[in-house]
A and B are shown apart, each in its own frame.
Chain A
Amino acid sequence: MPPLDIPLATPDHQVWRSWLALADALMVQRFYLHRAESAEILGQAAALPDIDLADARALVTVPEYELIDAELADISGLTAFFAIPRRSAHREALSHPLWEAAVTQAAKLLRSEHLSVSVPEMAAAAAWWVGFFATIRHRGVHHRTLEPVTSTVGLDTLREAARVVALGTALRVIEASLRTSPAVDADAERAYCAAITGSIKIEPRLPALLEDLAELRLVDLVSLAVPWRGRFTKYAGGTGAGQVE
């Protein structure tokens, strides 16, 4: 067989990358739209009506961590994803109830010291975003009906959501690391394979998890975090997203 001269494609022309950039930007928009509302809710009462948690301020705390490499964050499209929690987090001495789940997920993939990424930062950001949208969940709408959400959500469901978001974050950061490595990085490749197969493994669970989360903003955050068959359903159908905003 003659050897192949495999064409080198241009990632910038992939439409799903544009969809992902739009999805990332929608999270930023939602933060700025609702940060005052979240602060108001947390200022009025310690507990939330739909989540069994004694002090909901814990959902938007962030532990101290080292900054992720700025270039990696930029290439992975996650600069705002990491920056907003650092700027906005409550500094209460409260333990984030979702952080451990997220850090366990990220640590599974990023065991190598050669990967210049910060596991705690990834986990903290993932947990924070799930937590932030959880604080306003009871004022949101159901992701399919667009009617007000009336269900409760368990902490275990939110922890699972944080794991998914952490997995997706790690996948994007490792991919960025592979793009900037001048030579084959076997550690990063193995981590990338672990992240990909991790996303394949969780895919069957995602539809049920999204139904448990129920509320539109939480559903969007989690459903857009990892590659799966439903990731860009709205965008691929021409609907786009963010129309309720």
Chain B
Amino acid sequence: MEHRYPFIAIEGMDGTGKTTVRKGLFRLWESLYAVTPLCILTTNFLDAGVGGDIVAGKYAPTEANRDHYMEALAADKQATLTRMVGPALPVRPVLSDRWLLSELAFFAAKHSMRPHDTYQRLAARIHRPLDATLVLDLPVEESLARSHARSGDATRSDWDTLDVQQRVRAVYESVLAEPDAFPLLGDVVRIDAADGPAAVLHQVWTSLRDRGLIPASVAVIEGTEPSC
């Protein structure tokens, strides 16, 4: 057994409630399990040398910058794993707002790359697996409607479209169908995001507990041991 906390990624299309799940999991861990998680993003710019390639590859993707973007992502993720995730896991969980699955979806949607091919290239540079990838799932039309209805968030005309999001969801489905082909994703868990935020959070909680990624019982405050 490994004596540490879990490394969990929260994935899903825009509008599926990833941020609410992440905040909810954060508060669950901090209040009920007495430990403050570290929250990270899929790219954290911890390798400053590749920052330009990340921005160019993500927001102005071209065939010419595709491979630089791939290498930059791998470098940034390995820097995050080395400097943030590895040191954190003995003392706190790490919750990532997207991680690897989103990259497989991006390269499929923008560069028509097969998820397996993208995975193989990233896996050559990334040396720590997730314990779980939670995939918040919704019909594409509903997730788009939710993301467009949000205030304060910029929707991207090149990304938040039905065509692109359908391709993204197709990647999620293909990975959910053969998760063993992508071991760096850990346990890939489909979460039905159609219910309200509270029900989705409870689904996430019980899913993680069933997989031994959240303690079976809450942390006890001295003098409050559960009565038998």
**A residues near B, CB below 8 A?**
1-14, 16, 75, 175-176, 178-182, 189-190, 192-194, 196-201, 227
What is the interface of chain B, defined by CB distance below 8 A to chain A?
A: 1-6, 20, 23-24, 27-28, 30-36, 90-91, 129, 131, 186-187, 196-199, 201-202, 205-206, 212-215, 218-222, 224, 226-228
Q: Are the CB atoms of B2 and A182 closer together than 8 Å? A: no
A14 to B197, CA, bound (A): 27
Whether the pair A5, B3 counts as a contact (CB closer than 8 A) is yes
- Closest Cβ–Cβ distance, residue B220 to chain A (whole Å): 6
Closest to A227 in B: B27
Q: Is the CB of A6 within 8 A of B5?
A: yes
What residues on B are CB-neighbors of A75 within 8 Å?
A: 221, 224
Indicate if the CB atoms of A197 and B201 lie closer than 8 Å: yes
Whether A189 lies near B35 (C-beta < 8 A) is: no
Known contacts A4-B6, A10-B219, A179 near B205 by CB under 8 Å: no
Residue among A14, A196, A199 with the most chain B CB within 10 A?
A: A196
CB–CB A7/B4 < 8 A: yes
Nearest CB on A from B179, distance (A): 12
How far is the CB of A56 from the nearest CB of chain B, in Å?
36
Bound: A161/B140 CA distance, A: 37
Quick check: A197 and B221 within 8 Å, CB to CB?
no
Give A243 Cβ to nearest chain B Cβ, in Å. Answer: 27
Q: How far is the CA of A11 from the CA of B224 in the complex (A)?
A: 11
Q: Which of A5, A180, A198, A200 contacts B226 (CB 8 A)?
A: A180
Contact of B186 among A1, A193, A197 (CB under 8 A): A1
Instruction: Answer whether A3 and B212 are a contact pair too, CB < 8 Å, given A11-B219, A200-B24.
Output: yes
- Complex Cα distance A181/B217, Å? 9
Closest to B216 in A: A184
Query: Which A-B residue pairs are the 7 nearest by beta carbons?
Result: A9-B34, A194-B198, A197-B197, A11-B34, A5-B1, A193-B201, A193-B198
Which single member of B186, B222, B228 contacts A182 (CB below 8 Å)?
B228
When the two chains form their complex, are residues B35 and A196 in contact, meaning their CB atoms are under 8 A apart? no
Residues A180 and B3 in contact, CB atoms below 8 Å apart:
no
Let me know if B218 and A179 touch, CB within 8 A. Answer: yes
A196 to chain B: which residues have CB within 8 Å? 24, 27-28, 198, 201
When chains A and B are docked, how far (Å) is the Cα of A92 from the Cα of B77?
64
Q: Quick check: A4 and B212 within 8 Å, CB to CB?
A: yes
Partner of B205, one of A4, A189, A227: A189
Contacts of A180 in B (CB 8 A): 224, 226-227
With A2-B2, A8-B215, A11-B219 in contact, is A190–B27 under 8 Å at CB?
no
Q: How far, in whole Å, are A4 and B89 apart by their CA atoms in the complex?
A: 11
